[in-house]
Chain A
Amino acid sequence: MTDHSDAPHANSASLDSTGAADPEADGKPATASQRQLVWWSFKKHRLALVSAWLLIGLLVVVAFTEFLAPYDVRHRDSEYTTAPPQVLKIVDTDGGDGWRWGLHVDGYTSEQDERSLRITYETNPDDRVEVGFFVKGEEYELFGFIPWDRHLIGPKDPEDPMYLLGTTTDGKDLLTDLVYATRVSTSVGIIGVALAFLMGIVLGAISGYFGGWIDNGIQRLIELVMAVPAIPLWLGLAAALPTDMGPVMRYFIITTILAVVAWTGLAREVRGRFLAMRSEEFVTSARLDGSGHGRVMFRHMLPSFSSHIIAALSLSIPTMILAETALSWLGLGLRPPAVSWGVQLQEASKWSVLSGAPWLLIPGLAVVIAVLAFNFVGDGLRDAADPYKH
């Protein structure tokens, strides 16, 4: 090897220190806040944006369930069991006396099979059921304390049948059930994830704060819980519940079970993010600039971190929803009189019923849409959380 004392390169200045204009880096002016960057990036994800609107719609359904449902959830019409969906019409052309305007649906005619005694219903264009908005119907309490009796849509004469999505085998309005089920299933997902997140963040924080053997112990515990296959665990825990439990209690216990099984992933996410963030250069430089611990954590770390967490949360919700749906469908989760998407789909599992009543699968569509929406929003957020990444 030759002597390099004459070569200045050993201590020459690196020109790379600016690092500003990588051709692949995003070209935003440097004045945008982190929140703005995330929002800009999220907006480009069109599917995520549409999904975000869907989720807002879902939340509206959860909040205004009683108003949006045409009937009370206990409403049962034994006259019309397994009736097909009606089509909402605004004009009647075959009434004979010209066009009759006005919102209406067709009524039903029934036919009884002589041998099987089974009654089948069909919509009948000659029978007109007047439908209106904000009609008077069964009384309820909005948000649990505002007594009211108006429903967004319903038959003008409460005695008339209006079943836009058809009825179940025991004569319940599928639309009403679906609206109530949306509240239950969505909230199981959200509350479950919130619980799991709480457990995760507490244990993750303990893990990060104390470090050492406590961190080690918690990490091993998480690994072991993760090693037990989740779904049999759900099934087992759910099945071990007393059978005579009330629906509200059952709702909370099932949600807790789902959370207990799901918290490990979130705990790891939280801890991992914190650990990774701690050694990031901007955190070090914030420290060196003289910012206190609190300022570093809340002004520097949390903003760059919260979108990741929100993304992780919204990606966990669909898993919860799917788990609840499957559990309830199997008869191990929520049970009637509680309604959730899974409970609703139980109706469809007898194929003798399903073959004549495909509308019973509609709640399945709701599951798919909700799960997709949460997934897309989560994906969009995750991508947006790193505005400089692409």
Chain B
Amino acid sequence: MFQYLGRRAIYMAATLLAISLVVFVIISLPPGDFVTALEARYAVQGQRLTPEDVAELRSRYGLDGNLLQQYLHWITQIVLHGDLGMSFEHQKPVSEVISSRLGATLGVSIATLLVTWAIAFPIGAYSAVKQHSIGDYAATTIGFLGLATPNFLIALIFIYFSVNWFGSVPSGLCSPEWCDASWNLGKVLDLLGHLWIPMIVIGTAGVAGLVRIIRNNLLDELRRPYVTAARARGVPEGRLLRRYPLRVALNPFVSTIGWVLPILLVGDIVVGQILGLPTLGPILLGALKGQDMYLAGSIIMVLSLVTVIGTLISDLLLGWLDPRIRLGYLR
């Protein structure tokens, strides 16, 4: 188990390193850097920076030297001081911009993830056990549609009906009267009342994908010899299903945390944009469009970190669920 843990940890560190390199490349890609942008802004205000000032600023922000040195400066600032750089648009340290919205983002995403699972697992299981039934065909059809429909399209359709039926689009995560209130039942209910919309929009693709995965896995497992063998020794059908194939089919399900989380987070970009949620999505989109690269890069970095942590959690869960992985018989 410890060997397994150690291997996962090393792998995670390597992944993070790779991600940081990619993010740094993204940050450095657009022509000009933070100081060029500063220069431009001072120029607009009528101030001219001397070449000495510019060089001064560059060395202060760690932007002198070659790319490798710049990368090292950037990464040490992050690792040692938690300094992600300055957001040009927000005129604030990136970490401040992000931290104020990270909570809501994670909240919406995790809530969606849990709901996604809660919906997808029973549908997928039903679909596999009752293969070729009407329910199975319905689930499969809806699943295909869900996977083929971009989630922004779902959001747009939702908005169309919402505007034409109710005359407005519910936006934000809370109604004005509850937003500043302290936590109580009313606020929780209000939050839930708002949360279901982004959940539907963000979660559809995830549910469709997961239903398909669980169905295929379970269909595979149901045909394995151990199912017949268990039936042959008189394990009752219900328990047989629960303890044997469902248990095994749960594994790949758990290992999807890694890829479902980023999909949910990106869904948040779309929905956050349309519904005006106080999440990272809209900020990221704004930063990308305005080429506010430190902010954009950092958000991508944070999203990737969340994904990597998600993957680690799912690896640990897998190790706990599956002795083959825990004992190192299967990678």
Contacts and interface: CB of A to CB of B under 8 A. Distances in A.
A232 to B, nearest CB: 4
A323 to B, nearest CB: 9
Interface string A223-235: 0110111111101
B26 A229 contact: no
B149 A368 contact: yes
Contacts of A322: 148, 150
Contacts of A312: none
A361 interface: yes
B23 interface: yes
Interface in A204-248: 224-225, 227-233, 235-243
Contacts of B30: 240-242
Contacts of A232: 262, 265-266, 284, 299-300, 303-304
Contacts of A332: 288-289
A235 B300 contact: yes
A367 B153 contact: yes
A354 interface: yes
Interface in B280-302: 284-285, 288-289, 291, 293, 296-297, 299-300
Contact of B300 (A225, A233, A241): A233
Contacts of B213: none
Contacts of A229: 262, 265, 303-304, 307
A224 B18 contact: yes
A355 B160 contact: yes
A367 B288 contact: no
B145 interface: yes
Interface string B133-154: 0000000000011011110110
Interface string B253-268: 0000000001101100
Contacts of B285: 330-331
A146 B317 CA distance: 62
Main secondary structure of the interface of A (DSSP, over half): helix
A325 B153 CA distance: 10
B288 A236 contact: yes
Contacts of A230: 262
B291 A240 contact: yes
B152 A345 contact: yes
B67 interface: no
A155 interface: no
A372 interface: yes
Nearest to A372: B148
Nearest to A367: B150
B15 A371 contact: no
A364 B288 contact: no
For A230, A236, A240, A348, the residue with the greatest tally of chain B CB atoms inside 10 Å of its CB is A236
A228 B258 CA distance: 11
A372 B31 CA distance: 40
Contact of B289 (A233, A242, A331, A372): A331
A71 interface: no
A22 to B, nearest CB: 14
B270 A330 contact: yes
A242 to B, nearest CB: 7
A228 B22 contact: yes
Nearest to A371: B148
Contact of A364 (B153, B274, B293): B153
Contact of A239 (B14, B262, B291): B291
Interface residues of B, number: 48
A227 B156 contact: no
Nearest to B31: A242
A331 B145 CA distance: 24
For A237, A322, A325, the residue with the greatest tally of chain B CB atoms inside 10 Å of its CB is A322
Contacts of B14: 224
A364 B269 contact: no
For B29, B153, B265, B269, the residue with the greatest tally of chain A CB atoms inside 10 Å of its CB is B153
B157 interface: yes
B153 A236 contact: no
B25 to A, nearest CB: 8
A354 B147 contact: no
Given A224-B15, A355-B163, A361-B157, A239 B288 contact: yes
B156 A361 contact: yes
A257 to B, nearest CB: 11
A243 B311 CA distance: 35
Interface in A304-325: 318, 322, 325
A330 B273 CA distance: 9
A342 B308 CA distance: 30
B98 interface: no
A230 B315 CA distance: 20
A227 B22 CA distance: 11
A329 B14 CA distance: 33
B164 A364 contact: no
B286 to A, nearest CB: 11
Contacts of A237: 26, 29
B169 interface: yes
B159 interface: yes
Contacts of B157: 361, 364
Instruction: Give the 7 A-B CB pairs with smallest separation, nearest first.
Output: A240-B29, A239-B288, A229-B262, A236-B26, A371-B148, A355-B163, A224-B18
Given A354-B159, A367-B149, A368-B145, 6 more contacts: A229-B303, A229-B307, A232-B299, A238-B288, A351-B163, A355-B164
Interface of B: 14-15, 18-19, 22-23, 26, 29-31, 144-145, 147-150, 152-153, 156-157, 159-160, 163-164, 169, 262-263, 265-266, 269-270, 273-274, 284-285, 288-289, 291, 293, 296-297, 299-300, 303-304, 307-308, 311
24 contacts: A224-B15, A224-B18, A227-B15, A227-B311, A228-B22, A229-B307, A232-B265, A233-B26, A235-B266, A235-B300, A236-B288, A236-B297, A239-B26, A240-B26, A242-B30, A325-B150, A326-B266, A329-B152, A330-B269, A332-B289, A351-B160, A354-B160, A367-B148, A368-B145
